[in-house]
Amino acid sequence: MSKGLLILDRDGTLNKRIPGSYLLSEKQISPAPDLSMISTLDSIGWKMVIATNQACISKGLISTKQVTYLTQLILQPWLKLEESDIYICPHRDYDECLCRKPKPGMLEQILLEYPYPRDQVLFVGDSVTDFQAAKASGIHFAGVCWDSTCQGTVCLHSIGNIVEHLLAGGNQNERAF
């Protein structure tokens, strides 16, 4: 039985954010310092998916397939994600789509495809748009700030701190997030 659903942002959470640019090649991959701890959650039954805004696709800088590939490479040593586990909004801010965070469309799609009770879902991100999307979807949020400034009401600072918190029983019918 699964412990819950962990939705992870990509840039600034799993991989170093590239200020003013996009992750467009393997050479630019710079995983979170403690990302290896993510495998612990996978081994005890947490389902994990990625939710990422990637306007670089609509700008023609990279394809959806390339974004998926790079996302899989970030996690490859510790976690195998299928293409279907990576949710991508390819739109720009002004496209008025419903899937671009902070709008909840992408998270709502994930919740339709993985029907966990919302109190068993945790979204981990680094930005105010991540926090706003989680809040709009009625799911728990925890901020990480290893690469940025913490956002939201709870910041556990790193992937390692998130893993430690969940291993200690956090987010199980708890409103800490």
Q: Is 130 a catalytic residue?
A: no
Question: Is 95 a catalytic site residue?
Answer: no
Chain-centroid distance, C-alpha 88: 10
Residue tagged active-site, from 11, 85, 130, 147: 11
**DSSP assignment of the chain, as one string?**
---EEEEE--BTTTB---TTS---SGGG--B-TTGGGHHHHHHTTEEEEEEEE-TTTTTTSS-HHHHHHHHHHHHTTT----GGGEEEE---GGG--SSSTTSSHHHHHHHHHS---GGGEEEEESSHHHHHHHHHHT-EEEEE-SSS---SS-EEESHHHHHHHHHTTTTSS----
Catalytic residues: 9, 11
